[in-house]
Amino acid sequence: MYFDTYKIKRLSAKFLPVVFCLFFFINPVNSQSTLGVTGLLNSPSATMSPEGTVKMGGNFLNTNMTPDTWDYNTFNYYLNITFLPFFEAALTNTAFDLFQEGRKFNNVDRAVSLRFRILKEKSFLPSIVVGSNDILTSNKENYFSPDNGNKYFGMHYIAASKHFDINNSKFGIHAAYNILSSTKFSLKYPISGGITFNPGFARNLTLIAEYDTKDFNLGGNILLFNTLFFQFFVQDMKYISFGGHFIIPLL
In 101-204 the beta strands, taken as DSSP E runs, fall at 103-119, 127-133, 155-166, 169-180, 191-198
pLDDT at 4: 52
Whole-angstrom Cα distance, residue 228 to residue 201?
19
pLDDT digits (tens, 9 = 90+) for 103-139: 666 788 899 999 999 999 998 899 999 999 988 877 6
Does CATH number 2.40.160.40 belong to domain 27-249?
Answer: yes
> Per mean pLDDT, which range of 25-29, 58-62, 132-136, 227-231 is the poorest?
25-29
pLDDT digits (tens, 9 = 90+) for 152-176: 888 999 999 999 999 999 999 999 9
Looking at per-residue pLDDT, the higher value among 26 and 125 belongs to 125
DSSP 50: P
Whole-angstrom Cα distance, residue 40 to residue 233?
11
What residues does each domain of the chain span? 27-249
Closest among 84, 138, 78 to 113, alpha carbons compared: 78
Is the sign of the CA dihedral 140, 142, 144, 149 positive or negative? negative
